[in-house]
Amino acid sequence: MAKSDEMNEKWRERLDILKDVPPRDAQRAAESRAVYLERARQLAETVSGSPKRRPLTKGMWIPLIFWKRKERSLMVNPILALVLVLSLVFGGGGATVAAAQSSLPDQPLYGLKLWSEDARLSFTNQPENGWQVALQFAERRIAEIRAMIEAGKQPDEALQTRYEAQLEQALRYAQNLPDEQALRALEQIRQRLRLQEEQMSQLPANQAVVVQTRKMIQQRLEWVENGLQEPQQFRQRMQQRQLPNEVPPAQPGGGKPWTDETPTPGSGYGPGGAGTGNPWTDETPTPGSGYGPGGEGTGNPWTDETPTPGSGYGPGGEGSGNPWTDETPTPGSGYGPGGEGSGNPWTDETPTPGSGYGPGGEGSGNPWTDETPTPGSGYGQPGGPGDTGGGGGKKP
Amino acid sequence: MGKLYFKMKMMPVTDLLLWRHNNSVIDEEKRLLEGARRFDLDCLAAIYDRYSDGLYGYVVRLLGNADLAEECVSETFARFLQALHNGGGPRNHLKAYLYRIAHNWVTDQFRRQPTTMELSENLGGDENDDADGALQLEQEKQRLRAALQALTPDQRQVILLRFFEGWENDQIAAAVEKPVGAVKALQHRAVASLRRWLGEDEREWKHGEE
């Protein structure tokens, strides 16, 4: 240690000759000082009074990027960050959705395209522009079918289904409009449909989708043209189509029953008239409500199931016989034999007096009971053909 | 507090005086620095008056050129102002900070012009009658500067602050931003390097003489 100090001392002495410095030029020193102070004055004017607003930057660069910058309002950075995040989320997502808009069904972004269409349609509540949006999307389907065929690909049937649904939606929006606007909308839809039809006609007819779509367009065109003539009818038709499961189209020969459920015994359903369905009400008849059978019955339209004995189903019209069972009817089950308008044995039991059941059509000849009707029970003479139930025997 | 009492008790009186002096220097430096951060022009002027001459001498010893030294002083204070304006600058050790800036400038100067270490005429303050003596002295100075130039920047700074400015190790540590132990090691290696450089030089010189 002592040796080291000694050596240091030796070097200190040796370097001492450099220590001698000529005095500084006073004038130059003064000039330099003036320049420095002038610069200080300039900077002092552009700087805020509080040193807190000028935080030390050293070693803090990561938070500084987002937060501590000199001379900036504290609120600016969070707002900037928020704007940036929002624009990334919505702008970025929007860019992808926008990119998806030109995709074809066999491309990865197609799902996104359909999703964005659904989203837009579900946000469009107003019929004023809803029909245009839906029609525009339907047109995209046509364009997709064309593009697929032109690219030598097989268009999917789902395309046609989707086209149909979107066109349907456009029509529904249109019929919800006030008369004048509805007509204008229908007119435009007609023009567009014609255009679409023309486009489809240019495609090769050997594609099933093309053929079906064309056919559908032609049918819709017909509707729209009818709608232009008679808007009220068009409206009704569209409203009926709106509830396809609830109101099935009536078919001759008593197809669908009024209810799928097994009728309650004694409910006394009468068969419909010739293909007219149930003319009285849409509602399930209450037991004992006195429905009379129609004229020429059609068999048992109400249920496919074996009726419970005593349920009192009436057979249909001419010669329908007993359609429900092959077995010999239990005595008192009330199944009537065939023959014209066999009548309706609604119940095994002795009808309550005054229930007022009327027999079926012509000569039904099937009594509801083997027993002699109690006087005053109201079972009267057979009703006329297709009448709504016979003797009115009201409750006394 | 106990530590402070122990320190004061163990100190010789002269050291205690020096320590108190140093403390008051540090307090004064702190006050000036706080003023400078507010851009108080009086404080900024006081800082210039307090340190600019010392910096000038420091650089002249290193470069042996008054013009360059003046330029270096101007540049050092300009950088100091800019750092304050940008919210930077020193929190303490103002003197060490200024010497560090000046030293960095000198180091850059060495990098830019490594071979132009010539003696300038404007250093001719010592009007020695003995022309031979003056020449020899200049030659010695030149050799010493060349030797200093051969050191690493950190070594050179430690040697200059220790031998020329008479700083203590802890002050030097603040200037070079290194622990005191590292400062001692730097000094040790610097002296070894100087000895090697100048010793070999002397041997060659002696050989040449023979």
Instruction: Report pLDDT digits (tens) over B116-148.
Output: 444 444 444 445 456 777 788 888 888 888 888
Look at chain A and count its residues: 396
Q: How confident is the model at residue A295 (pLDDT cuts 50, 70, 90)?
A: very low
B88 and B172 inside one domain: no
Q: What per-residue confidence (pLDDT) applies to B72?
A: 92
Q: How confident is the model at residue B152 (pLDDT cuts 50, 70, 90)?
A: confident
Considering only residues A375 and A29, tell me which one the structure prediction assigns the higher pLDDT: A29
Contacts of A5 in chain B (CB under 8 A): none
Q: How confident is the model at residue A249 (pLDDT cuts 50, 70, 90)?
A: very low
Query: Distance, in angstroms, between A54 CA and closest chain B CA?
Result: 4
B139 and B210 inside one domain: yes
CA distance A282 to A258: 7
CB A293 within 8 A of CB A390: no
A99 and A186 inside one domain: no
Q: What per-residue confidence (pLDDT) applies to B73?
A: 93
Kindly state whether residue A334 falls inside one of the protein's structural domains. Answer: no
Residue with tokens 């109101």: A247
pLDDT tens-digit series, residues B68-119: 899 999 999 999 999 888 888 888 788 888 988 998 898 888 777 654 444 4
Kindly state whether residue A330 falls inside one of the protein's structural domains. Answer: no
A191 and A110 inside one domain: no
Size of interface A-B (CB pairs under 8 A): 109
In the predicted model, what is the mean pLDDT of chain B? 78
CA distance A42 to B35: 16
Number of domains present in the structure of chain A: 2
Examine the pLDDT at A257 and tell me if it is beyond 80: no
- Structural domain range at position A103: 85-123
Examine the pLDDT at A231 and tell me if it is beyond 90: no
CA distance A366 to A383: 12
Q: Which of A274, A259, A347, A271 is nearest to A305 (CA)?
A: A259
Q: What per-residue confidence (pLDDT) applies to A255?
A: 38
A132 and A238 inside one domain: yes
Q: How many of the other CB atoms lie within 10 Å of CB of A287? A: 17
Q: What per-residue confidence (pLDDT) applies to A180?
A: 82
Examine the pLDDT at A306 and tell me if it is beyond 90: no
A183 and A104 inside one domain: no
- ipTM (interface pTM): 0.72
Considering only residues A46 and B73, tell me which one the structure prediction assigns the higher pLDDT: B73
Contacts of A11 in chain B (CB under 8 A): 159, 163, 191, 194-195
Kindly state whether residue B62 falls inside one of the protein's structural domains. Answer: yes
Q: What per-residue confidence (pLDDT) applies to A49?
A: 52
A113 and A140 inside one domain: no
CB B123 within 8 A of CB B66: yes
CA distance B153 to B106: 9
Examine the pLDDT at B161 and tell me if it is beyond 70: yes
Q: How confident is the model at residue A261 (pLDDT cuts 50, 70, 90)?
A: very low
CB contact under 8 A, A57 and B81: no
Q: What per-residue confidence (pLDDT) applies to A123?
A: 78
Lowest mean pLDDT among A174-183, A214-223, A336-345: A336-345
B46 touches chain A (CB under 8 A): no
Residue in A closest to B34 by C-alpha: A51
Query: Distance, in angstroms, between A65 CA and closest chain B CA?
Result: 15
Kindly state whether residue A273 falls inside one of the protein's structural domains. Answer: no
CATH number at residue B143: 1.10.10.10
Residue with tokens 């050293």: A58
B97 and B158 inside one domain: no
B111 and B147 inside one domain: no
Contacts of A47 in chain B (CB under 8 A): 39, 85
A181 and A109 inside one domain: no
Burial, B84: exposed, middle or buried (Cβ in 10 Å; 0-12, 13-18, 19+)?
A: buried
Kindly state whether residue B76 falls inside one of the protein's structural domains. Answer: yes
A195 and A92 inside one domain: no
Kindly state whether residue A252 falls inside one of the protein's structural domains. Answer: no
Number of domains present in the structure of chain B: 2
Contact map slice: B 133-172 vs A, CB within 8 A? 137, 140-141, 144-145, 159, 163-164
Q: What per-residue confidence (pLDDT) applies to B71?
A: 92
Lowest mean pLDDT among A22-26, A126-130, A157-161, A193-197: A126-130
The residue out of B86, B117, B148 marking a domain boundary is B117
B106 and B33 inside one domain: yes
Q: How many of the other CB atoms lie within 10 Å of CB of A116? A: 18
B7 touches chain A (CB under 8 A): no
Please state, in angstroms and as integers, the Cα–Cα distance from residue A202 to each residue in A151, A191, A206, A217, B75, following that order. Answer: 15, 17, 12, 14, 82
Contacts of B57 in chain A (CB under 8 A): 21, 24
Mean pLDDT, residues A263-267: 44
CA distance A342 to A315: 6
B180 touches chain A (CB under 8 A): no
Q: Which of A32, A182, A209, A155 is nearest to B45 (CA)?
A: A32
Lowest mean pLDDT among A179-183, A258-262, B25-29: A258-262
Q: What per-residue confidence (pLDDT) applies to B18?
A: 62
CA distance A193 to A217: 7
B203 and B153 inside one domain: yes
CA distance A117 to A105: 14
Q: Which of A16, A21, A27 to mutate to test the interface with B (most CBs of B within 10 A)?
A: A21
What does the DSSP assignment read for A142-180? HHHHHHHHHTT----HHHHHHHHHHHHHHHHHHHTS-HH
Contact map slice: A 66-125 vs B, CB within 8 A? 70
Considering only residues A313 and A152, tell me which one the structure prediction assigns the higher pLDDT: A152
Query: Distance, in angstroms, between B202 CA and closest chain A CA?
Result: 14
User: Which of A42-51, A78-87, A150-159, B100-109 shows the highest mean pLDDT?
Assistant: B100-109
Examine the pLDDT at A93 and tell me if it is beyond 90: no
A215 and A230 inside one domain: yes
B73 and B162 inside one domain: no
Q: How confident is the model at residue B185 (pLDDT cuts 50, 70, 90)?
A: very high
User: Which of A118-132, A239-253, B72-86 shows the highest mean pLDDT?
Assistant: B72-86
Residue with tokens 């304050």: B84
Query: Distance, in angstroms, between A103 CA and closest chain B CA?
Result: 53
Residue in A12, A22, A41 nearest the CB of B163: A12
Kindly state whether residue A296 falls inside one of the protein's structural domains. Answer: no
Query: Distance, in angstroms, between B16 CA and closest chain A CA?
Result: 22
Question: Terminus-to-terminus CA distance in chain A, angstroms?
Answer: 139
Contacts of B74 in chain A (CB under 8 A): 32, 35-36
pLDDT tens-digit series, residues A180-191: 888 888 888 888
Q: Which of B196, B113, B117, B120 is nearest to B155 (CA)?
A: B196
CA distance A246 to A259: 11
Question: Angle at Cα A300 formed by Cα A295 and Cα A305, nearest 5°?
Answer: 165
Mean pLDDT, residues A218-224: 87
CA distance A316 to A361: 9
CB A71 within 8 A of CB A54: yes
Express as a percent the part of chain A with pLDDT over 70: 51
Kindly state whether residue B155 falls inside one of the protein's structural domains. Answer: yes
Mean pLDDT, residues B13-37: 75
CB A334 within 8 A of CB A349: no
Kindly state whether residue A222 falls inside one of the protein's structural domains. Answer: yes
Q: What per-residue confidence (pLDDT) applies to A384?
A: 41
Contacts 24+ apart (CB under 8 A), A281-286: A282/A258, A284/A258, A284/A259
- Structural domain range at position B54: 1-117
A243 touches chain B (CB under 8 A): no
Examine the pLDDT at B174 and tell me if it is beyond 50: yes
pLDDT tens-digit series, residues B38-54: 888 899 999 999 999 98
Q: What per-residue confidence (pLDDT) applies to A1?
A: 52
Q: What per-residue confidence (pLDDT) applies to B77?
A: 93
Contacts of B164 in chain A (CB under 8 A): 15, 18-19
What does the DSSP assignment read for A253-284? TT-S-S-SSPPPTT--PPPPSSS----S-SSP
Question: Angle at Cα A243 formed by Cα A242 and Cα A248, nearest 5°?
Answer: 125
B160 and B208 inside one domain: yes
Lowest mean pLDDT among A35-39, A54-58, A195-199: A54-58
CATH number at residue B59: 1.10.1740.10
CA distance B190 to A5: 14
A237 and A142 inside one domain: yes
CB contact under 8 A, B163 and A40: no
Contacts of B38 in chain A (CB under 8 A): 49, 51
A222 and A118 inside one domain: no
